[in-house]
Structure 1
Amino acid sequence: MSRRILLRGGSVLDVDSGAARPADVVLEGDRIVDVGIGLDGDEAIDCAGGLVLPGLIDCHTHVCITQTRRDPFGLPRSVRPLSAVPVLRTLLRLGVTTVRDAWGADAGVRMAVEKGWIDGPQILLSLRQVGTTGAIGDLWAPRTGPLDFFDDPSLPDPIFDGPDGARAVVRRMVRAGADWIKATATGSMAIGTGVHDIELTADEMTALVDEAQRRGGRKVMVHAHGARAAELAARSGAGSIEHGTFLDETAVRAMAESGTWYVPTLSVTQSDPEHAPEGAAEAHRKSMRLAIDAGVRIAMGTDNPVRPHTEVLWELRHLADAGLGDAGALRAATIEAARLLGLADDRGEIAVGKRADLLVLAGDAVDCASIEERLQRVFHNGVEVAR
C-alpha cells in the first residue's frame, strides 16, 4: 500500500478564488486524498509559513527545437528528440508538470516520459504546425525546392491546400499520435513577414476544426498574430488562439462569443521588449487588455525556446503585469490551462481526487515575481522531484 505523504502547516491556494487558506494536504500514490486541518500521514513534510500551489501547465512550448533552431540542417536526426531530455528536466524542476508541445516533439518523446525513461512533465502533442502552401511551416528555397529539416515518419507532412487537404492533414497527424492540431493562420514575427496575412481560407479552417472534432473530439490551436486571422479561427470554432499579438475589439469579441481561448505567449515580446519588432510589445499588452475586457478565457503558454526554457516562470509575471494580477496569472497557469486542455477533472487545483502535482513555496504571498526564488519542493504524480 502506498505511503501517505502529509504536507503540513502551509497555506493552500484556491486558484479559482485567488485566496490562500491554512490547510494540510495528504498525497497517496499519484493523487491528493485529503485537504484540511489537523490531518495525518506516514511521512510529514513541514510547510509552515509556506504556500502550496497546483503544478503549472505550459500550453504552448517546444521541447525539441532548442538545438534545431540553432542549426536546422547540420545535425543528426536523433538530436531533435534527445535534446528534449534536459529541457523536460528543467521544466519539471521549475514546477511545470504538464505541457502542450506546439510542434517538434513526436510520440516517442511522450512515450519516454510516460514510461519513466526520462523525467519530465506530461506531454500533449501537436507534432507539426500544419499550414497551406507558402505558410511558415512550408520550408522552401529557390535552388533546392522543399527543405524539411523535420523530415521524419513520426512527424508527417504538414502542408495542405483546400478543405479536402485540410481533412487529410488532420488524419495524418492523428495517425502519428497528435493530441491537438496546430495550424498556422498568419506569418511569423520570428521570420518577420506576414503577421497580418491570412494564410488559409474559411473553408480550410472549418475543415480542420471539423475533422479534428471527428477524430476523438480533438481541437485546433491556431498560430495567429493578426486580428483578422484570429477572428477567422474563432468563428470557425478553433480551440485556442496562440500569440494574438495584434488583436482588436472585433477579434476578441469573436473569441469570447465562440468560447475560443487565448494563449498570449507574452514572453515573446515582453521579456526583451527592446528587441521585439517595433510596436509589438505595446500591441501585445493592448491585446491582453482587450481580451480581458471582452471576457476571453486566458491560459498560460510561453512559446519557448523563443526565450530559454529556464525562463518559463517569467510568463507568470508578464500575465500578472498585463492585467491578470498575480492570482489571475496563477489561475491561467493552473485550472484555466487544465480547462483548455480538457484535463480539469484530473489536475489544475488542489482538491481531493486530483493528480498530486504540487509546488511548495517559501512564504505565503501570492506573488508571481518571486516564485522561482521561493520554490522549495515540486511533486509530480505524487513523487517529489529532485531539485
Structure 2
Amino acid sequence: MTLLAGARVFDPETGETTRADVRLDGERIAEVGPGLDGDQRVDCSGGLLIPGLIDCHVHVAFRRPEPLPRSARILEAVPVLRGLLARGITTVRDAWGADAGFKHALAQGWISGPDLLVSLRQLGPTGGLGDTWDPAAGAVDNYGDPSLPDPLFDGPDAARAAVRRMVRAGADWIKVGASGSMRAVRAGVDVRPTDAELAAVVDEAGRCGRDVLAHAHTSAAVVSAARAGARSIEHGTFLEDDAVAALANAWYVPTLSPMSDTEFAGTHRRSLRLAVEAGVRIAAGSDLAPRPHVDLTTELRLLAAVLGDAAALKAATSEAARLLRLDGDRGRIESGLRADLVLLDGTDLDVTDLPGRVRAVWHDGERAGALTSP
C-alpha cells in the first residue's frame, strides 16, 4: 500500500482542508485520516491533496482548420491527452470529435491520458451546428470517418435514429446542438431543433441508457433543451431569467474559456452569476478546442473569479462527478473511491496557476508521468 503522508486534504463538499494521510490500495483509496501506515511512504508535507480534476467539456480530437489527412487529427490527441493527465485532469467528457477507439487505446495502455467519455458527434437538424454543408462543395463531412456517424436529423423519428447511430458506435453521452454556433447566432441564422425533436433525442437517449448534453448559447435554446430533459447545458452565453429557471433540473457547464477574450466575456460572466445566485448546479468544462489549447486549469481560474476558489474546485471535482453519474466512484478523497488525486505545492486553494503548483498526479492509484513537451 502507498501512503501519501503529511498533506492537507481538500473536501470539495465543504470547501475545507484538514491535515490527514491518505492510504492507497491499488486503484482505490483505502483510508483517510491521521497517523496512518503504508508500505511505501510519499512525503506530501507542505502540499495540498485534491481529487483528480474532471473536465466535463473537451475536444481532444477536434478537426484542424487546415486541410490535413485524417490521421493528423487522431495523432494530435496523443500529446493533448498526456498533457491533460500531467496537469491533474484525470477524467474528461469529450463533446465532439473523439471516437470509441480513443477509449480502447487508453484502456490498452497504448497512450496515456485521463479516463475518457465520448459523445462522438453533435446531433442537430439540417442547417444546424452539426451540418458541415459547404456552399461551394455541397454536403461535405469534415471528419469522413465511419466511427463518427452521420449526426443530422429532421423530425422526431430521424432524431431517434441519430441517437441510435451514436449508441451503436460506442457513445457514452449524446450531444445535441440546441442552438447553432456563436457565428450563426450573431448572424441571425440560428437553425435549432424543434421541441419535439429535442424531446425525442432525450427520450431515445434515456431508452438507450444515455444522458444528453446540449450545446446552447441563447436563452431560448437553453429553455428548450432543459425542458426536454437534457442533463447538462453547455455554454449558456446569453442567459435570461427564464433560462435560469429552466436550469433548476440540469447542470450548467459555462465553458468561459473560449469567450474570455471576446466582446461577450462580460455577458457570459453575467449569465454565470445569474445561475449561481439562483442555485443552479455548476460543473466545470473548458471547451478544449481552440488552438493553442486551453484546458481546465484556465477554466478554473475564470470560474474562481465568479465562484471563488473552493467552489471552482468543487465544480471540477465532486459536482462534475455528480453530473457524470460518477460520484459513487470519484470526485472526492474518501475511502472506497478511485485513487485519482493531485498533490499541489502549498496548502491554499488558489487556482491562479494550477499547472505551476502540480507536484504529483495519481490516476487509478498509479503515479502519472510529468508533463513533457510533445
Tell me the TM-score normalised to structure 2 length: 0.96
Q: Does 1:87 align with 2:77?
A: no
Q: CA deviation at 1:294?
A: 1.2
Choose the corresponding residue for 2:322, options 325, 328, 339.
339
Q: Does 1:40 align with 2:37?
A: yes
The answer to whether the 8 A contact 2:52-2:89 is kept is yes
Name the structure 2 match of 1:31: 28
Describe the superposition over 1:206-258 as per-residue Cα deviations: whole angstroms up to 9, x where unpaired: 00000000002x111010000000011111111111000001111010111xx
Letter of the 1:26 counterpart: R
Q: Does 1:293 align with 2:270?
A: no
Name the structure 1 match of 2:215: 223
Of 182-191 and 144-153, the range deviating more from structure 2: 182-191
Q: CA–CA distance in 1 between the matches of 2:291 and 2:336?
A: 35
Q: CA deviation at 1:189?
A: 2.2
Q: CA–CA distance in 2 between the matches of 1:114 and 1:51?
A: 29
Describe the superposition over 1:98-151 as per-residue Cα deviations: whole angstroms up to 9, x where unpaired: 000001000001110111110000000000011000012111123321011112
Q: Does 1:11 align with 2:1?
A: no
Q: CA–CA distance in 1 between the matches of 2:65 and 2:265?
A: 24
Q: CA–CA distance in 1 between the matches of 2:87 and 2:184?
A: 30
The answer to whether the 8 A contact 1:90-1:309 is kept is no
Q: CA–CA distance in 2 between the matches of 1:137 and 1:336?
A: 28
Q: In structure 2, do the counterparts of structure 1 residues 307 and 255 end up closer, same or farther at CA, with 3 Å as the change threshold?
A: farther
Q: CA–CA distance in 2 between the matches of 1:14 and 1:379?
A: 17
The answer to whether the 8 A contact 1:360-1:378 is kept is yes
Structure 1 gap ranges (5+): none
Describe the superposition over 1:165-186 as per-residue Cα deviations: whole angstroms up to 9, x where unpaired: 1100000000000011111111
* Aligned positions of 1:59-98 closer than 5 A: 59-65=56-62, 68-71=63-66, 74-98=67-91
Describe the superposition over 1:260-307 as per-residue Cα deviations: whole angstroms up to 9, x where unpaired: 11000010112xx2xx1x3x1111011001100111101000111225
2:64 alignment partner, SS class: helix
Letter of the 1:60 counterpart: H
Q: CA–CA distance in 2 between the matches of 1:10 and 1:370?
A: 19
Name the structure 2 match of 1:237: 229
Identity percentage over the alignment?
57
Q: In structure 2, do the counterparts of structure 1 residues 305 and 139 end up closer, same or farther at CA, with 3 Å as the change threshold?
A: same
Q: In structure 2, do the counterparts of structure 1 residues 195 and 178 end up closer, same or farther at CA, with 3 Å as the change threshold?
A: farther
Letter of the 2:253 counterpart: V
Q: CA–CA distance in 1 between the matches of 2:9 and 2:366?
A: 19
Q: In structure 2, do the counterparts of structure 1 residues 250 and 191 end up closer, same or farther at CA, with 3 Å as the change threshold?
A: closer
Name the structure 2 match of 1:260: 250
Choose the corresponding residue for 2:289, options 296, 305, 311.
305
Q: In structure 2, do the counterparts of structure 1 residues 76 and 196 end up closer, same or farther at CA, with 3 Å as the change threshold?
A: closer
Q: CA–CA distance in 2 between the matches of 1:143 and 1:214?
A: 39
Q: CA–CA distance in 2 between the matches of 1:142 and 1:315?
A: 35
Q: CA deviation at 1:343?
A: 0.4
2:282 alignment partner, SS class: coil
Tell me the TM-score normalised to structure 1 length: 0.93
Q: CA deviation at 1:309?
A: 3.3
User: For the aligned residues, what is the CA RMSD?
Assistant: 1.4
Q: CA deviation at 1:308?
A: 3.4
1:136 alignment partner, SS class: coil
Q: Does 1:357 align with 2:352?
A: no
Describe the superposition over 1:50-80 as per-residue Cα deviations: whole angstroms up to 9, x where unpaired: 1000000000000002xx3231xx3222222
Q: CA–CA distance in 2 between the matches of 1:375 and 1:126?
A: 29
The answer to whether the 8 A contact 2:6-2:19 is kept is yes
Describe the superposition over 1:307-340 as per-residue Cα deviations: whole angstroms up to 9, x where unpaired: 5335430111111102x11000000000000000
Q: CA–CA distance in 1 between the matches of 2:358 and 2:213?
A: 31
Letter of the 2:336 counterpart: G
